[in-house]
Structure 1
Amino acid sequence: MNRLLSIGSEFPQFKKQAVVSLEKGKEFAELVNDFKNEDNRWTVMFWWPKDFTFVCPTEIAEFNKAFDEFRDRDTTLIGASTDSEFVHLAWRHDHEDLRGLQFPMLADTSKSLAEELGILEANERVAYRATFIIDPDNVIRFVSVNDLNVGRNVEEVIRVLDGLQTDELCPCNWKKGEATLNV
């Protein structure tokens, strides 16, 4: 297994299929890592282990509820797992909380991106619950990885994104709108 890519590393290049819609004929699109961009967009990419499971849809639905908050922060949101785009599509059709997703579900069927990121679980070869915040220069600024059975906190991802976007010193439990540290 590769080592976990961490803060300061460049996010890997990729070209992967994703589910972007439930509309017939418009379900799939190719996603290409073009995170290094001129429009100053940040990216949050979060990974889950498997489709058609129990903890995963709670996280995906919570990220979707917060979609406007990410958009308001000039941040692209991408969900990903090692399942295929066809399994993603079937799951979206099957699970009521996933039908209205506003972000793509990336399919890393080769497991190459998960492996390069260092988040591929050794035995089942599925992705850990990993979250990456990537700045406009394609540099990883935050990484959080949970074991397979514990869901993450979407509010904390937003709080950290807010802190990173201030480019200032943010104390423990800091929230957007509060004073940062003046040293």
Structure 2
Amino acid sequence: MKNHIISVGSEFPEFKKLAVVSLEKDNEFYEISSNDHREAGKWLVMFWWPKDFTFVCPTEIAEFNKKVEDFEDRDTVLIGASTDSEFVHLAWRKNHDDLRGLKFPMLADTSKSLAEELGILEANEKVAYRVTYIVDPQGIVRWVSVNDLSVGRNVNEVIRVLDALQTDELCPCNWTKGEATINA
């Protein structure tokens, strides 16, 4: 049986997972859930990478971290995720210069249950594809982007699409925040 990727218009699956949120002793881990952003009335951007301690992934994670204020300015909760354990996430953060100062949680889907429910596991290695979800405050998936394992994503495009979705208007090709929307 082949999994199908949860797509636009679907409800984002419920989850409760441990995440690495700090390098501070005894405050490294925190449980986060699918209800956190809903209860706060915020949008959710969750981006997945295949494996910790690899090469493309830290470039993406560092870029999302550079833009964390842009997501906060848009009332958006940012969560990074992979199927690695919280302990592997913590070791990677401690080991990698670009990851020590992360300002968003690294979710550990160790059981692969969330990745499986989302339909984003690569068939052979059972690691997550590079998938990005934008979820509205009601928990509905509004955008999904999937990259193959070898190709990093464009964080500015995630922000551009988030801006467009938050206008709740018709946005033409290549639209960016501040430009006119379409009046139909």
Same fold (TM over 0.5): yes
Inter-partner Cα distance in structure 1 for 2:40 and 2:29: 24
C-alpha distance in 1 between matches for 2:105 and 2:147:
21
In the other structure, the counterpart of 1:60 is 61
| CA distance in structure 2 between the aligned counterparts of 1:37 and 1:81, rounded to whole angstroms | 22
Matched letter for residue 56 of structure 2: V
Counterpart residue identity of residue 5, structure 1: I
Query: Mind listing any 5+ residue stretches in structure 2 that lack a counterpart?
Result: none
Inter-partner Cα distance in structure 1 for 2:81 and 2:159: 18
The residue correspondences of 1:32-181 to structure 2 (distance < 5 A) are 32-35=33-36, 37-181=38-182
How far apart are 1:38 and its partner, in Å? 4.8
What CA deviation, in whole Å up to 9, does each residue of 1:6-52 have, x standing for no partner? 00000001111100000011000111110563542000000000000
CA contact (8 A) 1:35 1:137 kept: no
Amino acid at match of 1:19: V
Match of 1:5 in 2: 6
- Distance in 2, Cα, partners of 1:36 & 1:3: 25
SS of 2:71's equivalent in the other structure is: helix
Does the Cα contact within 8 Å between 1:35 and 1:136 map onto a contact in 2? no
Q: For 1:6, give the aligned amino acid.
A: S
Taking structure 2 as the reference length, the TM-score comes to 0.97
SS of the aligned residue for 1:68 comes to: helix
- String of CA shifts for 1:79-106, please: whole Å, max 9, x gaps: 0000000000000000000000000000
Shift of 1:160: 0.1
Q: What is the Cα-based RMSD across aligned positions, in Å?
A: 0.9
DSSP-derived class of the 2:35 partner: coil
Matched ranges for 1:21-40 at <5 A: 21-35=22-36, 37-40=38-41
Query: CA contact under 8 A between 1:12 and 1:117: conserved in structure 2?
Result: yes
- Deviating runs (4+, > 2 A) in structure 1? 35-40
For normalisation by structure 1, the TM-score amounts to 0.98
- CA–CA distance in 1 between the matches of 2:122 and 2:39? 35
